[in-house]
Amino acid sequence: MDRTYALRYPNHKLKNKVGGAIVAAGRRGSVNALSIINNFFLGHDMLVTGLGISGYGTKKGEVKQDNRAMQGARSLGKQIVQLIKAIKTQN
């Protein structure tokens, strides 16, 4: 994310692209990670869907057992698709 200057200047290549943040965390730090990702999206003039989703797990694959996170990720995906469709119908 630190090396995305070329995406921002001179042509704003991510402008009006749709973004949704998903974070996998061990125990803590997901709120800060979501904030950083969403600020990245906003800094590139992207369209942000929701606040983001956090999944928790400390072992490989464990986050898949976090039903709330998995449902949230599916919901976020649907929101992204809806927003993209709405944008396309307006153009």
The Cα 12–Cα 45 span in angstroms is: 8
How many domains is the chain partitioned into structurally? 1
* Domain, as residue range, for 33: 5-90
Q: Residue 63 in contact with residue 90, Cβ under 8 Å?
A: no
The Cα 33–Cα 24 span in angstroms is: 9
| 30-75 pLDDT, tens digit each | 999 999 999 999 999 999 999 999 999 999 999 999 999 999 999 9
The alpha helices in 1-91, defined as continuous H runs, are 5-8, 30-43, 67-90
The pLDDT of residue 1: 75
For residue 75, count other CB atoms closer than 10 A to its CB.
14
Q: Which amino acid is at 56?
A: Y
